[in-house]
Amino acid sequence: MKKFSYIVVAVIFTALGITGTYLFIDKYETKVVTEKVVTITETDTIKESVSKIYDATILVESYKNSILIGTGTGFVYKEDDNYGYIITNNHVVEDGDSVKILNNNGDLVEGKVLGTDEYADIAVIRIDKKYVLLVAEIGNSDEIEIGDTLFTVGSPLGDEYMGTVTKGILSGKNRLVSVSLSTGSYLIEALQTDAAINPGNSGGPLVNINGKVIGVNSMKLVEDEIEGMGFAIPINTVMSIIDKLESGETIVRPYLGVQLIDVTSTYQLKQNRITLNSKVTYGAVVVYVESGKPLDKAGLQKGDTIIEINGTKIDDSSTLRYVLYKCSIGDTITVKYYRDGDLKETKITLTDKVE
């Protein structure tokens, strides 16, 4: 009887051991299987959008006397039966006498600069069509909103990092950015983004989430205490002059025939022997008036301070140029100015420089 009992107990423990082992293995395997089927879904990837612009983006090399003097980025925006047409920045090519284009296939080919505009900081380059890998889609910069996802493609440090993609958002619209050019300081209306834009990105595309170009990267605000502020020229502004640049036309803007300095430029005012009335706290001060030009015809003279054009406040000479370049040749503008503390008003008909 005892022997039988021992057998029963042994069978029971054996059964329990087998069952426990099975349950343990089953549980462990279930865990392993569960871990294997966990997947990550990319809900915010922009790879499809990047593919719409990536091969349209190229590296621009600028040469002077056959010596490489600088690089930038550009993108193909159009092609015809014979050529591809590239947008880049004026400052990328302005100091050179020739350019070469490097595409993503590694083809380094001669390009021809068709036209440039210093103020808009835009240049158009032409290359043989056979080197065009892709043509970019042009978007509408008026339709984007603050907070929209944007990205750039460019060559921040030349060909070593060619094809770098950075992503951010639209941080601001209609930003007035001061730029110093050979002819003086200007304000450029720009899009602001926190996508990384470095000097070699100049001329490259700023692109929306659908892969369409909505801006041309032009500069980066660089100060020790400021990061993540990049700027681009709205594509609508660029496309408004692109036909003229393609045909080599000079972009003609209104010309007043005057030299200006800012109210705050104390040293320059002293050099020009101009003393302002205490009422004058802002504006653009007339230093010289060219005979026969619009301001001369309107009767303005040295020492007058322009404070308003067509109802828009003129803070300084950069603001004046910005407002003036919004107008067209032939327009009549209303100008308010101070002379010896007296506020005056006149109308001026705008002409070009050669008229």
Report, as residue numbers or ranges, the catalytic residues: 91, 121, 202
HSE-up (13 A, CA, CB side) for residue 73 = 36
Contact 219, 231 (CB under 8 A): yes
Closest CA to 207 of 138, 145, 155, 158: 138
Closest CA to 92 of 199, 222, 205: 199
The sign one gets for the Cα dihedral 126, 129, 130, 133 is positive
Closest CA to 305 of 319, 291, 293: 319
Residues of 277-313 as b/e, b for ≥16 C-beta within 10 angstroms?
Answer: eeebeebbbbbebeeebbbeebebeebbbbbbbeeee
In angstroms, the CA 270 to CA 120 distance is 33
Residues of 319-336 as b/e, b for ≥16 C-beta within 10 angstroms?
Answer: bbbbbbbeeeeeeebebb
Reduce the DSSP state of residue 102 to 3 states and report it. strand
Q: Which two tokens stand for residue 103?
A: 């595409």
Contact 76, 84 (CB under 8 A): yes
**CB atoms inside a 10 Å sphere around CB 341:** 10
Give me the residue label for tokens 């008909």.
349
Closest CA to 240 of 145, 117, 126, 135: 117
Residue 334 CA, chain-centre distance (Å), reads 32
Phi, psi dihedral angles at 321 (to 5 degrees): -65, -40
